Structure 1
Amino acid sequence: MTTRPTHRRTLQLAVGGTAVLLALSACSSSGDSAGASASSSAGASSAGGLKGTVTVFAAASLKESFTELGKQFEAAHPGTKVTFNFGGSDALAASITSGAPADVFAAASPKTMQIVTDAKDAAGEPATFVRNQLEIAVVPGNPKDVATLKDLTKSGLKVALCAKEVPCGAAAQKALDSAGLKLTPVSYEQDVKSALTKVELKEVDASVVYKTDVKAAGGKVEGVEFPESAGAVNDYPIVLLKDAPNAEAAKAFIALVRSDQGGKVLGEAGFLNP
C-alpha cells in the first residue's frame, strides 16, 4: 500500500523531467534556427550592398546638380564612389561608342543619345528626366544693352556660341532660324560651360547658354530671356550602358536621378520637369 504512491510520484517526476528537457530542447532549437536565420539575412544584406565606382558620362550643363546627387548617392551607399566625365554630349557619345568604360550616359538631347542607342551601346530604353531652356548670358550690368535675340547680331558685339553639333549649339541655331536671324560668333565652343566661361572672363559680350548655367554662375553673368527659346527646349535622356562595369550601382544612381529627391536637386538648379 505504501509503495504505490511512491511509484506514482517517481513516474510523475520522470515525465515532468522529460517534458522540461523536451521544452528546453525545443527552445534551443528555435533559438538556433532564429539566430541562423538572422545571421543569414544579415549576410545576404551585406552581400547585396552596393559597392565600387559608378562612372557617369554627363552633359556639361549637369555638372552642379549631378555632383550634388553623386554626394548624396555615396552617403546613402557607403563603399560606393561616383565619378563623372562632363563634356559636350556629342563628344561623350563618341567616346562611349569607341569603347570608353562607363556605366551611365546622360545627354542634353535625344539626338546625341541616339548615337549611343544606334551603336547598340545602351542596355535599355533611354528615359527623359529633365528639360532645359536657353537664355542669353551677358556681362554683369549688361553694358551692351542686350535685350533680344536680334540684339546679338549688332555690329561690334562679340558673341560665343556652342558648336552646332553640341545640343546647346543646335538649340541656339534652331532659335536663330525660327527668328530668321543670321549670326557669326567670334568662337564656337565644344560645350556649354566653355561658352559661358567666355562671358565670365569678359572675352565676349554675350553667349547663348542654358538657364541652368546662368543660375549656376551666380553673379558672374546676367541672364536675358528671349521668347524664341520656348521653341528650342532640350529634353535630357539618361540610360544604363550595355557593358556597364558596375551595372547594379548604376541602376541605383539612375533611380536617384529620376526620383523625387533627384527632381528636387535638378529643379533647384533650374531644370524643367520632363
Structure 2
Amino acid sequence: MTPLRAAPLAALALTLVLTACGGDGTGGRDDEPQLTVLAAASLTDVFTELGETFEGDQQVEVTFSLGSSTDLAQQAADGAPGDVLATADTTSMAIADDAGVAGDVVDFAGNVLVLVTRPGNPQGIESLDDLAGVSWVRCADEVPCGRVAVDLLDAEGVTADPVSLEDDVRATLDKVTSGEVDAGLVYATDAVAAGDAVTTVEVPEAADVPTTYAVAALEQSADGELAQAWIDLLVSDDGRRVLEDAGFTVPAQPQ
C-alpha cells in the first residue's frame, strides 16, 4: 500500500482505500462489505494502520475520507454517505450530533499542540514568543487545530501573525516540511509522524488547552454493526496501543 497524505478538504477530501485481504488488487471485490470512515487529517497514520487490521479481521473494504473535522462533520450533517465520523475535537462532532446523524459519541484520544521547525531549527525558535520575526503558519480558525491554537496564543499573549492559515493540520505541517516557512503549530502526533523532516519544540503551556478526539457511528450508515466494530477496535487494547505509539493520549476508560 502506498502511503498517502490528506489534502486540504477545501480542494478535495483525500480518499484512501485499503484493499481487503483476498481481493483481486483492483480496489476490492464487488461482494465485499464496505466501510467508509470520515476522519480528521491528524488521524491519517493511525487509521491507516488500524484499517489494515480491520480489513484482515472483518474481510471488508475500508475507505477513509480525511481532512478538516469541521468540514467532514458538516458533510455528515448534510447527509453525505459514511459509516463512522471521527473528529479532532468535540465541537466538530457536535455539528453532526446536533443534526441527529451521530450515534453514541465516544471520546477516545487526546492531543496537544507543539511547534515544528525546519530540520535543525535554523532560526533558533525556543518558544511561542520567538514566532515574532519568523515566518510561521497555523490552522484556520474554524478547524480544531486552529481553534486550539487561538486559545493557546491568546492565553500566552502572542500577537505575531502567521503568514497563512491552513485548511487542516497536515497542510500546516506540509508548509514546514516543504521549507516554505520557518515554523508551524501542529499536533504532537503530526510532529511524531514527520520524523526527521522537522525539529520539534515542546510548548509546555499547550497542556492547558488540549483537544479531545471523538468518534460516532453515523445514522446514514448502511451497516451499523460494522460501524460499531470499527469503534470497538479503536477503543480496544490494540487500538489504544496504536494511538499511544503515535503520540496520542488515551483516557483510562472511554467516555
**TM-score normalised to structure 2 length:** 0.85
Return the offset for 1:117: 0.4
Which residue of structure 2 lines up, in the alignment, with residue 52 of structure 1?
33
1:220 to 188, 197, 221: 197
Amino acid aligned to 1:86: L
Answer yes or no: is 1:270 the counterpart of 2:247.
Answer: yes
Using the alignment, how far apart are the partners of 1:108 and 1:96 within structure 2?
A: 15
Using the alignment, how far apart are the partners of 2:49 and 2:135 within structure 1?
A: 34
Answer yes or no: is 1:142 the counterpart of 2:127.
Answer: no
Return the offset for 1:62: 0.3
Paired positions, count:
221
Amino acid aligned to 1:67: T
In the alignment, is the contact (CA less than 8 A) between 1:59 and 1:86 conserved in 2?
A: yes
3-state SS of paired residue (1:264): helix
Which residue of structure 1 lines up, in the alignment, with residue 54 of structure 2?
73
Deviations 1:106-158 (A, max 9, x none): 000000100000111112x2110000011101000100000001111x22x10
Return the offset for 1:243: 1.4
Which residue of structure 2 lines up, in the alignment, with residue 230 of structure 1?
207
Where in structure 1 do 4 or more consecutive aligned residues deviate above 3 Å? Answer: none
The CA RMSD over aligned residues, in Å, is: 1.2
Amino acid aligned to 1:126: V
1:244 to 214, 217, 221: 221
Amino acid aligned to 2:58: H
- Aligned 1:8-157 pairs, distance under 5 A: 52-78=33-59, 80-123=60-103, 125-152=104-131, 154-155=132-133, 157=134
In the alignment, is the contact (CA less than 8 A) between 2:79 and 2:220 conserved in 1?
A: no
Amino acid aligned to 1:54: L
Return the offset for 1:105: 0.4
1:202 to 174, 179, 193: 179
Return the offset for 1:51: 5.2
* Change beyond 3 A, Cα 1:227–1:233: same
Answer yes or no: is 1:172 the counterpart of 2:149.
Answer: yes
Using the alignment, how far apart are the partners of 2:203 and 2:226 within structure 1?
A: 40
In the alignment, is the contact (CA less than 8 A) between 1:90 and 1:166 conserved in 2?
A: yes
In the alignment, is the contact (CA less than 8 A) between 2:35 and 2:226 conserved in 1?
A: yes
Using the alignment, how far apart are the partners of 1:231 and 1:149 within structure 2?
A: 14
Return the offset for 1:230: 0.6
Q: Which structure has the greater CA radius of gyration?
A: 1
Using the alignment, how far apart are the partners of 1:260 and 1:164 within structure 2?
A: 34
Using the alignment, how far apart are the partners of 2:84 and 2:130 within structure 1?
A: 39
Which residue of structure 2 lines up, in the alignment, with residue 46 of structure 1?
none
Using the alignment, how far apart are the partners of 1:236 and 1:249 within structure 2?
A: 20
Amino acid aligned to 1:83: T
Answer yes or no: is 1:211 the counterpart of 2:191.
Answer: no
3-state SS of paired residue (1:209): strand
In the alignment, is the contact (CA less than 8 A) between 2:81 and 2:221 conserved in 1?
A: yes
Q: Give identity over the alignment, percent.
A: 43
Using the alignment, how far apart are the partners of 1:222 and 1:261 within structure 2?
A: 29
Structure 1 stretches of 5 or more lacking a match?
A: 1-49
- Quick check: which one's helix share is greater? 1
Return the offset for 1:99: 1.7
Amino acid aligned to 2:42: S
**TM-score normalised to structure 1 length:** 0.79
